[in-house]
Structure 1
Amino acid sequence: MSAVRENNPVLTAIQAAHPVLADDLPPLQAVDVAELAAMDFKPRQPLLSPWLCSQDLAMVFAPRGVGKTHFGLAVAFAVATGGPFARWQAPAARKVLYLDGELPGAVIQQRLWMHCPDVDPAPGYLRIFTPDLVTEGRTLPDLSTYEGQAVIDAMIETDTALVVVDNLSAWARSGRENEAESWHPIADWLLSLRRRGIAVLLVHHAGKGGQQRGTSKREDLLDVVIGLSRPKDYDPQQGAVFVVEFSKARNLVGDQAESIELELVVADDRATWRCRTVEASTFERVVDLANEGLRPNDIALELDINKSSVSRHLNKARANGLIKADKAARS
């Protein structure tokens, strides 16, 4: 029995994950600034440039059905293959662990096939766990508990660069989302991964107010927070179209943090992404509505934007000869 315990990585991880008494640990110590400056910390490496680096703790959130999992899988494939996603680029292939907490096995297979780029990830560079892999008598690990964290830790290889948790509600089921204290065990686990040089992308639901669901204390710890939302004039026939907005991004400056619109285009069961800035998307919508005969006030109401923005776009469109009959009244 002792030999079984010694060779059981999950049991070993669980034992290591349990908090120990403070008396059993060496005391925490501050160091002199010169000593800190001389320390050899592991350098941060870009994973999906410019917004995701090693050790980053990130979150993408959206209402149900907008495209969170599509976004998460696209990030995972880009990092695992050293490829592009939208206007972002992974400089090199790095290992990814994708934790799916909701989809049936057949559905995640279909999604993976859809998003797989022309070049497959090298063996072991994109590893997946999904609920249909839970063996009889076991339950999906709960990241709100030390035991659940230990089970997942046993899946994370030493050279893993990114862990994607899709989604937070499925993987952290204990406690209450709105209580800050319920977040503490998960925050401690995330920080332990950061110390190991691992980045984490949390996929999460949006609440009724449009922000990430639950306690706002989550965002204090995070380096990157991305919100996905439908365009103002969204038509369900458009499929997966959403605006990507960085509400927090410590790595981004200037135009890098500009909101963009992504459209998922599926042909022959394979996915490609169309990307444009929100500014360009809004300009095209203003032109289309003007050519349909809508007045500036009506365009502003339709797109939920300021009338001054409509006027600016119309002036640009007229200067480029894009208003066919100039039906939009000047006002």
Structure 2
Amino acid sequence: MNNNAFGIKRLSEVTPSSETPFLIEGLVHRTATMIYGRPKAGKSFVALSAAMALGEGTPWLGREVEAKNTLLWALDPGQEDETWQRFNTANGAKESRLFITDVRPEDTDEWWAEFSDVLLSTGVEVLIVDNLSALLGRGSYNNDADVRPALGRLQALLDEGIAIVLVHHAGKFNEEQGSQKSPMGSTAIEAWGRQFVQVTDDQELRILRVYGNNTPEKELGIALNFNGEGDDGAFVTLIGEEETVAMSAEHEELVAKARARWESRKERQKKQGRSPQQKAGKKLETVRAPKTNGIPERIIDALRENPVGMGWNELDKAVTGASGAKSKAANEMVQAGTLTRSKEGNRTIYRLAR
């Protein structure tokens, strides 16, 4: 086999890329980013704010941003006009490299191939898709068979070097747990992304929960001004930022926490009767327990209908089941005192014990 034909090499010989994985450090990935949240949480405003920063090359939420040819794909009815109004309200720059289209996608490979060619020929570097539902048509978020073709077409654009920011919905609200932390629908949706920004609202405060493959989980608190004003980008002002889950820790601290977690898990399983030892005990009891298949009950029913008693041949015919199992069950019932067995002439008679 010619290893070079398949790019096979020693891992130690790989030359890592010096390119940052982000278009906006720690927030927007240079491949696949998903911004999601419940309706009215402000996810489209956050996406537009990021798009304006990318189109103009202006800082966003405290990060430097390099200008990119950015296309906002507005797929909701009337969204193009609505986005234009928001752009002007926020005093968007006329020389901005932010573009927009509201063309409706067709469910054909030919249409998507032409769309890809147009994006590449016009130099689009970032595509912001608002939102996923329009790409699914009549398909369901929860059905892998509906979701995968749409994500596959976006993946083809990623393979051409176009970064994609996909706007989507969060899972349904739960009164006990609050907003669900994952994007709505099939696990294929979350598997597609490399970076995630969940938008939740707490009255005037918006929380951006950020997580992904290349960053520790963190939360950013922002004020979202629908009038367009913002100190850290159009519409947005950064209030605070903190890591919620560290990606690294001191080895001793990590091992100590893991050990404590392990002990806590064992104790919890023990209380719930789910420890490996308890499961093994239950399994052993199950194996040792005789499989009667309802034979004792059928023997009792037959003898109730014949209170004077039945010979073994009569009882064997009256009760369904294997003869060996019936004989064993009858013997055990005699030993337990449920039945009596007596010799009467040449016959062995079984009766219910009184």
TM-score range relative to shorter protein: 0.5 to 0.7
Which residue in 2 is equivalent to 1:263? 223
Which of residues 43, 47, 69 in structure 1 aligns to 2:23?
Answer: 47
Which of residues 222, 239, 242 in structure 2 aligns to 1:276?
Answer: 239
Query: Cα offset for 1:181?
Result: 2.2
1:162-209, Cα deviation, whole Å (9 max, x unpaired): 100001112331432111122222232232222222210100112314
Specify every segment of 5 or more residues in structure 2 that has no aligned partner in the other structure, as ranges. Answer: 174-179, 243-354
Query: Cα offset for 1:43?
Result: 4.9
Which residue in 1 is equivalent to 2:187? 216
Specify every segment of 5 or more residues in structure 1 that has no aligned partner in the other structure, as ranges. Answer: 1-28, 135-139, 280-331
Which residue in 2 is equivalent to 1:226? 197
Larger Rg: 2
What amino acid maps onto 1:260 in structure 2?
Answer: L
- Asked if 1:88 is matched to 2:63, the reply is yes
After TM superposition, list the pairs within 5 Å mapping 1:174-193 onto structure 2.
174-193=138-157
Conserved in 1, the CA contact under 8 Å of 2:126 and 2:162? yes
Question: Does the C-alpha gap of structure 1 residues 40 and 268 become closer, same or farther in structure 2, counting only changes over 3 Å?
Answer: closer
Which of residues 48, 61, 64 in structure 1 aligns to 2:36?
Answer: 61
1:57-81, Cα deviation, whole Å (9 max, x unpaired): 1111111111111011111111111
Query: Cα offset for 1:88?
Result: 3.0
> TM-score scaled to structure 1, two decimals?
0.60
Which residue in 2 is equivalent to 1:150? 113
Mapped to 2, the partners of 1:165 and 1:178 lie a distance apart of 19
Would you identify which runs of 4 or more consecutive aligned residues in structure 1 move more than 6 Å?
Answer: 38-42
Question: Does the C-alpha gap of structure 1 residues 44 and 260 become closer, same or farther in structure 2, counting only changes over 3 Å?
Answer: closer
After TM superposition, list the pairs within 5 Å mapping 1:290-329 onto structure 2.
none
Which of residues 43, 48, 55 in structure 2 aligns to 1:73?
Answer: 48
- Asked if 1:115 is matched to 2:115, the reply is no
> What SS does the corresponding residue of 2:206 show, helix, strand or coil?
strand
What amino acid maps onto 2:143 in structure 1?
Answer: E
> What SS does the corresponding residue of 1:259 show, helix, strand or coil?
strand
Question: Does the C-alpha gap of structure 1 residues 167 and 39 become closer, same or farther in structure 2, counting only changes over 3 Å?
Answer: same
Conserved in 2, the CA contact under 8 Å of 1:165 and 1:171? no
Question: Does the C-alpha gap of structure 1 residues 121 and 186 become closer, same or farther in structure 2, counting only changes over 3 Å?
Answer: farther
Which residue in 2 is equivalent to 1:202? 166
Conserved in 2, the CA contact under 8 Å of 1:73 and 1:115? no
Mapped to 1, the partners of 2:147 and 2:13 lie a distance apart of 32
Mapped to 2, the partners of 1:148 and 1:174 lie a distance apart of 18
Moved more, 68-77 or 33-42: 33-42
> What SS does the corresponding residue of 1:93 show, helix, strand or coil?
coil
Query: Cα offset for 1:95?
Result: 0.8
Conserved in 2, the CA contact under 8 Å of 1:42 and 1:197? no
> What SS does the corresponding residue of 1:75 show, helix, strand or coil?
helix
Mapped to 2, the partners of 1:245 and 1:268 lie a distance apart of 22
What amino acid maps onto 2:187 in structure 1?
Answer: S
Query: Cα offset for 1:122?
Result: 3.5
**Alignment RMSD, CA only?**
3.1
Which residue in 1 is equivalent to 2:75? 101
What amino acid maps onto 1:52 in structure 2?
Answer: V
RCO comparison, higher one (Cα < 8 Å, 6+): 1
Which residue in 2 is equivalent to 1:304? none
Mapped to 1, the partners of 2:8 and 2:151 lie a distance apart of 27
- Equivalences, count: 227
What amino acid maps onto 2:39 in structure 1?
Answer: R
1:202-258, Cα deviation, whole Å (9 max, x unpaired): 001123143322112211121012211112xx2xxx4xx421102x312224xxx42
Conserved in 1, the CA contact under 8 Å of 2:208 and 2:219? yes
What amino acid maps onto 1:193 in structure 2?
Answer: L
- Asked if 1:126 is matched to 2:113, the reply is no
1:69-107, Cα deviation, whole Å (9 max, x unpaired): 1011111111111112223331x2111111001152432
Mapped to 2, the partners of 1:96 and 1:227 lie a distance apart of 21
Mapped to 1, the partners of 2:16 and 2:209 lie a distance apart of 35
Conserved in 2, the CA contact under 8 Å of 1:141 and 1:151? no
Q: Percent identity between the aligned chains? A: 21
